[in-house]
């Protein structure tokens, strides 16, 4: 199945090329559009062009300051998209900071990988409620 022009738009902030390929490929197979951005600047530019329904954030992305990202998204998006974050399970402080910033859910990278197939319809991303 290929993405249709009215498929939900998700944005992915990550500089991990292998992970970008995995996420965008899974989304494409499910008829969803997920555009990758390797920097916050590119992500915000994409959001300005077409406001996303969902933003996926790799917490290990270099230079990421969640509060700045959140502020910029609220400035360019008429409706704040759902922001889902993932990161290393050992970096509990960073995962908690993402929750405090408003990301929901925040998942260890391994759980996020398990949930890739939870992409569904116009919810952009549905995650098992037990993981929230």
Let me know if residue 131 belongs to a domain. no
Let me know if residue 102 belongs to a domain. yes
Residue 117: its pLDDT value, please?
60
Q: Is 93 exposed, middle or buried (0-12, 13-18, 19+ CB in 10 A)?
A: exposed
Residue 7: its pLDDT value, please?
53
Q: What is the mean pLDDT of each run of 10 residues along the chain (132 residues)?
A: 58 93 84 90 95 94 91 94 93 93 90 68 42 34
Residue 6: its pLDDT value, please?
56
Domain that holds residue 55: 9-121
Helices (H), 60-115: 66-76, 92-101, 109-114
Let me know if residue 52 belongs to a domain. yes
Q: How far apart are CA 107 and CA 57, in angstroms?
A: 10
CATH number of 96's domain: 3.40.50.2300
Residue 128: its pLDDT value, please?
38
Residue with tokens 């990278």: 109
Q: What is the DSSP letter of 131?
A: G
Let me know if residue 4 belongs to a domain. no
Residue 47: its pLDDT value, please?
95
Domain count, the chain: 1
Residue 9, phi then psi, degrees to nearest 5: -100, 125
Let me know if residue 126 belongs to a domain. no
Residue 130: its pLDDT value, please?
36
């Amino acid at each position: 199945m290929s993405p249709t022009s009215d498929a939900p738009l998700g944005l992915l902030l990550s500089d991990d090329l292998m992970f970008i390929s995995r996420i965008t490929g899974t989304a494409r197979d499910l008829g969803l559009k997920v555009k990758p951005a390797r920097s916050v600047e590119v992500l915000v530019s994409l959001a300005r062009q077409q406001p996303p329904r969902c933003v996926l954030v790799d917490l290990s992305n270099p230079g990421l300051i969640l509060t700045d990202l959140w502020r910029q998204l609220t400035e360019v998006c008429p409706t704040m998209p759902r922001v889902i974050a993932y990161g290393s399970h050992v970096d509990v402080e960073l995962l908690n900071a993402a929750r405090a910033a408003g990301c929901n859910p925040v998942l260890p990278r391994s759980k996020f990988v398990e949930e890739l197939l939870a992409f569904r319809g116009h919810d952009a991303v549905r995650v098992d409620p037990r993981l929230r």
